[in-house]
Amino acid sequence: NAGVTQTPKFQVLKTGQSMTLQCAQDMNHNSMYWYRQDPGMGLRLIYYSASEGTTDKGEVPNGYNVSRLNKREFSLRLESAAPSQTSVYFCASSGGLRGTQYFGPGTRLLVL
């Protein structure tokens, strides 16, 4: 039982490049989330998916897109990376919208 897994662990991009961050959970959770963590800013919600087939914007969605591929997987795509997107990205899942959120280990992204 791995919980929430994220790939890659670390990535360096050049400005304008694209990439997809992968997230998978094996807890049969309905809801999944993407956050970014920046010093002094806490965790900010980028996008979330309340259930398979639905996605909604969070607090800071600009520059990102998401895909809820199936119940297990929720990916985050940066179409044209910018230095402002340098951050640590966390995926989380929960059994319902009111449930405890379980976080993955994070992806550290550096955009040059």
Partner 1 sequence: QQQVKQSPQSLIVQKGGISIINCAYENTAFDYFPWYQQFPGKGPALLIAIRPDVSEKKEGRFTISFNKSAKQFSLHIMDSQPGDSATYFCAAAYNQGGKLIFGQGTELSVKP
In the complex, what is the shortest distance from the CB of residue 39 to partner 1, in angstroms, rounded to a whole number?
A: 9
4 forms part of the interface with partner 1 (CB under 8 A) = yes
Q: Which residues of 29-68 are buried (b: 16+ CB within 10 A; e: fewer)?
A: bbbbbbbbeeeeeebebbbbbbeeeebeebebbeebebeb
Pairing outcome for strands 56-57 and 107-111? unpaired
Stretch that binds partner 1, among 17-25, 36-44, 67-75, 78-86 (CB under 8 A): 36-44
Is residue 85 helix, strand or coil? helix
Q: Does 19 bind partner 1 (CB under 8 A)?
A: no
| Per-residue binder mask for partner 1 (CB under 8 A), 42-81, x = binder | xxxx--x-x-------xx----------------------
